[in-house]
Structure 1
Amino acid sequence: MNGEIAAHQVFTKLRGIFAVYKNEHVSISSLSSKILNKIVVDLNTNFERKQKKMVRFLPVEKQPNLHQHQQSTDIQPLHSRSVIHKLQVADRIPVNVPDSFDLLEVQGPRYEVDHFELCTNHALDVNSSGIQLFGLQTTGISLLKQLFHMKIPRSYHLRGRFGLATTRFDGDSRVIAKFAWDHITKAKVETILGMLQGSHRNALLKSSGLDLESQLAYEILSKGLLKPERASGPIILSMTLKELDLPHFVLDVTCLNESCQYLRQVVDEVGSALRSSAVCTSVHRYRDGIFYATDDSTFLSRDIKVEKVIETMSENYSRLQPLLKQKSALFHELPSDAH
């Protein structure tokens, strides 16, 4: 228990970015509620809540004993003689004493969920899993906005199955068609993935305004620092075959401006391009910018603790600074015709 630390001091430090692992079949709203509830309970339970003071007029004959009471209680006399002279009423003197109306049993918990703002970027949907970034309070929300406008890439593992077509491109919706898949080979899959990746990279270069044949475009793209200058739809930066055990497969996809449903449609496109069909049985985000689902700093929702969250947000802020400066410097130095 951290009784020596005042709750209001801890409250002011609860601001920044932290990552939480989201399981399948859990909505972002329910995960957010669980996170805030755990923070509020921890803050109200394990940190000192100082009782407010009030002024009471005590009899003057009790004045000699005030210092004795002060050592064992929170009773404190008002030391200013001028104040005492002005406030003294008949045989009574003003003294600071604990305000009984401010007792926890009377007022209830000092901090509530409504005292916090918690936001996300690129929220995972109910049927997906993986790392989810959260911004707490104004500072965290501002950092999330910066990352959003910087178009930081995210990476996913997409599990799929050839031979089926469903109404929503996933494994849980109604099957509407079945196709042969025994003609599919690793080489054919990799060829299709290369074609899709190439078309998306060209779209990214065109939306950035860079010369497709320039060395600058190559260097920026190879470092993963390219972003669309204009508003654009989803863009796939890389797409590789991670596993193939027909009819099942796993794709490793890094992208921008995506949604989980869009990624399921990409799996469907891969199946169609192979003259078959495919459904996406799992969407798992394992990286969001510099944050990974396997990092020690990525929380499980059940492990949320106020002190650990504050420590992690401070570390994350330090980790983000080089990235923010690198991106800012790179695009500041681009020639005017490249914007």
Structure 2
Amino acid sequence: MNNLSISEKAFNLLNGVVCLYKPAGVPLKGCRHSLLLKLCQDLNASGVRSPEKRVFISGDTTKQLRIKVKPSYADDVLVVGPRFQSEDFKCIWTTHLGMRVSGVCIMGLNQGTKMARNLQNNYPIRTYHLHGQLGLMTKNMHIDGQVVEKGRFDFIKRENFDKLMSTIQASNQKKMFQLAQVDTQSQMAYDLAIKGLIRPVSNKEPLIYGIKCISLELPHFIVEVNIINEYENYLLSLVHEIGLKLRCSAACTAIRCIRYSSFTIDQALLMKHWNLQFVLDNIRECNSVYAKMRKLPSFITEESYFENKANQMNI
């Protein structure tokens, strides 16, 4: 017979990766705190175990003693606090999203922290939508910064944008082989190309795999970029560079992550859905996606990752 309470059974199911939608202006630590706080509230409200019993012996020792079994005050919720607290969870995020970035955020819960590290070790490609405004330059390259320059933008055409996107993508494709230290005209370069995407050895070097303009309504534009090893300031500088290459100025108005490897924005839970039932359903779905990714020949597990690192050090 299973004597576990409802909340304990639910807690045992909170193992895996969960896909969340991180709002802009909220740090990752704040998202983690909000998620765990809501899970603890739902678990504590779904029926926790009763306080453990304690045996009380009273009476005159020279006579027959009275034995009573009562709930122990030392195990009472009012004394020790709620049964489930944030410290009971293990939770890590797979990639750092800056304060201004919104979109897909993958977190590993409890035993899912190992799955999250495996995703990190595979250097997954992320897809972003970069929203920008032409004719405006700020100190921090974002729309919320101090404006330092305003200029014309009415001369920019869609052809100019498409040509620039092709140039940026071509230069980064050449950069792939440079980071791999392979001549683009060699047989080794061909062998690497047919195996799939070439990923840099270092996880500190941003690399663009694809970039295109998906919307242009002057002065506003949206650029979709497939990238790896990115960070917030690099994405801001990319929008700034696009403005300079177009002989104009540009400031970023929003950064939105719409895809993390096989996890899309359609699977991401909004903050209002960060409760026990939605998270359990999302973990089940995301674990299924992870299982399919793990079957891929190119997928690197945590064990093989450290083995490769050791081999590189020996070399």
Please state which band the TM-score falls in when normalised by the shorter chain.
0.7 to 0.9
Answering whether residue 115 of structure 2 is matched by residue 149 of structure 1, we say: no
Q: Secondary structure at the match of 2:213?
A: strand
Identity over aligned pairs, percent: 25
Aligned to 1:121: 94
Aligned to 1:201: 173
Given the alignment, which residue of 269, 272, 281 partners 2:244? 272
Q: Secondary structure at the match of 2:129?
A: strand
Answering whether residue 279 of structure 2 is matched by residue 309 of structure 1, we say: yes
How much has 1:208 moved relative to structure 2? 3.5
The gaps in structure 2 that reach 5 residues or longer are 305-310
Preserved contact between residue 43 and residue 84 of structure 2 (Cα < 8 Å)? yes
Report the residue type matching 2:145 in the other structure.
Answer: S
Preserved contact between residue 209 and residue 229 of structure 1 (Cα < 8 Å)? no
- Write the mapping of 1:1-339 to structure 2, written as runs, cut at 5 A: 5-57=5-57, 91=64, 97-137=70-110, 139-208=111-180, 212-213=184-185, 214-221=189-196, 225-295=197-267, 298-328=268-298
Preserved contact between residue 210 and residue 217 of structure 1 (Cα < 8 Å)? no
In structure 1, how many angstroms separate the alpha carbons of the residues matched to 2:216 and 2:166? 16
Q: Secondary structure at the match of 2:43?
A: helix
Preserved contact between residue 16 and residue 136 of structure 1 (Cα < 8 Å)? yes
Larger radius of gyration: 1
Preserved contact between residue 6 and residue 50 of structure 1 (Cα < 8 Å)? no
How much has 1:141 moved relative to structure 2? 2.4
In structure 1, how many angstroms separate the alpha carbons of the residues matched to 2:299 and 2:96? 28
Preserved contact between residue 132 and residue 221 of structure 2 (Cα < 8 Å)? yes
In structure 1, how many angstroms separate the alpha carbons of the residues matched to 2:12 and 2:143? 45
In structure 2, how many angstroms separate the alpha carbons of the residues matched to 1:177 and 1:217? 45
Distance 1:329 1:264, change over 3 A: closer
Matched pairs, number:
298
TM-score w.r.t. the length of structure 2 is 0.83
TM-score w.r.t. the length of structure 1 is 0.78
Q: Secondary structure at the match of 1:18?
A: strand
Report the residue type matching 1:108 in the other structure.
Answer: G
Report the RMSD for the aligned CA atoms in angstroms.
Answer: 2.9
In structure 2, how many angstroms separate the alpha carbons of the residues matched to 1:279 and 1:102? 57
How much has 1:201 moved relative to structure 2? 1.8
Q: Secondary structure at the match of 2:50?
A: coil
Preserved contact between residue 39 and residue 305 of structure 1 (Cα < 8 Å)? yes
In structure 1, how many angstroms separate the alpha carbons of the residues matched to 2:132 and 2:82? 48
